[in-house]
Amino acid sequence: MPLRIIFMGTPEFSVPTLAALAEAGHKIVAVYTQPPRPGGRRGLDLQKSPVHQAAELLGIDVLTPVNFKDVADRQTFRDFDADVAVVVAYGLLLPEDILNGTRLGCYNGHASLLPRWRGAAPIQRAIMAGDHETGMMVMKMDKGLDTGPVALTKVVAIGNEMTAGELHDKLMLVGADLMKEAMDKLDGGDLPLTPQAEHGVIYAAKISKAETRINFSRTAAEVHNHIRGLSPFPGAWFEVEIGGKMERVKVLSSVVEKVGGETGTALFDDLTIACDNGSVRLTRLQRAGGKVLDADDFRRGTPIPAGTRLL
């Protein structure tokens, strides 16, 4: 018979899983998501999360507690009398009262091959590290950070040119199918759990503003991975003099080249920039406040000739 599920998620990444569980016939008794945040052009309007909007379209009750410190919020969770909670990029650490607040516990859809890349930014970190594969895992949550036993795994290859945005879009669909399979197995009493390995633990710390600036003194491969790992958001960037003043330029994609030179210097007029042990040719860029442009279109409006120093 269908499971009674509490769904907990916030960004676009979570929406396909919510939809898949609803379409599979499970009873979504409530959706928990982050409270509306300031947004809009001026940042004055409160914007509901993508999961909040999707739940409303499905006619599901939505709750947005800031945290679960309030006894009443924890009791409300238990009062739903759910079989299981499904968590996908919710954005809050769950206390033990919530982890144990359903009959079968909480199951998390996590975008890495645990125990590698536990934590907040597994998609970006995998690409920035030059990993050739990642995946989605469904794990039963415990009080640790992504430390619980794993139920199901789906491995996904990371192409040499794949950006974080492209990997995000692929994994969110893989994750939806995997969680649906997991809940079907759980409903049938046939969902195995395997403890995570004790070795190979790496944490995927949240991306800080300080690390988004491109360091062209790194190897060409490292710079390329840095660029694609932060594309499209928050975006890797450099500064260059344009029209007599320094301006920030975001880079969304690049290609590794073999030619070398003084690091941080444009080697040709085609936006090939020297790195340690090679160079990168910048292929999609965006000036502050401008549109994302292919390199040829960018150069027509903002030429960066050979010899220009990028900072």
Q: pLDDT tens across 38-70, in order? A: 876 666 788 999 999 999 999 999 999 999 999
Binding site: residue ranges?
112-115
Residues near 289 by Cβ (< 8 Å), separated by ≥ 6?
A: none
- CATH fold, domain 209-301, is Methionyl-tRNA Fmet Formyltransferase; Chain A, domain 2 (3.10.25)
- Please give the Cα distance from 207 to 116 (Å, whole number): 16
Q: Is 4-203 a domain of CATH 3.30.9.10?
A: no
User: Would you state the structure tokens that stand for residue 170, as one six-digit string?
Assistant: 């692929």
User: Would you state the structure tokens that stand for residue 87, as one six-digit string?
Assistant: 């968590």
Q: How far is CA 102 from the centre of its chain?
A: 27
Helix or strand holding residue 287 (H, E): strand 278-287
> What pLDDT, on a 0 to 100 scale, did the predictor assign at position 39?
77
Distances (CA, A) of 202 to 39, 168, 236, 277: 33, 19, 23, 27
User: Would you state the structure tokens that stand for residue 183, as one six-digit string?
Assistant: 């809940």
Location of structure tokens 């536990």: 118
Amino acid occupying residue 274: A
Domain residue spans of the chain: 4-203, 209-301
Distances (CA, A) of 15 to 48, 59, 181, 237: 13, 14, 16, 30
Residues near 246 by Cβ (< 8 Å), separated by ≥ 6?
A: 239, 240, 311
> What pLDDT, on a 0 to 100 scale, did the predictor assign at position 241?
93
The pTM for the full model equals 0.96
Helix or strand holding residue 183 (H, E): helix 164-187
> What pLDDT, on a 0 to 100 scale, did the predictor assign at position 123?
98
Angle, vertex CA 221, rays to CA 220 and CA 222, nearest 5: 90
Helix (H, G, I), strand (E, B) or coil at 282: strand
- Please give the Cα distance from 82 to 59 (Å, whole number): 18
> What pLDDT, on a 0 to 100 scale, did the predictor assign at position 152?
98
* DSSP tag of 210: G
Listed as ranges, residues in the chain with pLDDT below 50 are none
> What pLDDT, on a 0 to 100 scale, did the predictor assign at position 41?
66
Q: pLDDT tens across 77-126, in order? A: 999 999 999 999 999 999 999 999 999 999 999 999 999 999 999 999 99
- Please give the Cα distance from 161 to 278 (Å, whole number): 17
User: Would you state the structure tokens that stand for residue 29, as one six-digit string?
Assistant: 């008794």
Binding site for (6S)-5,6,7,8-tetrahydrofolate: residue ranges?
112-115
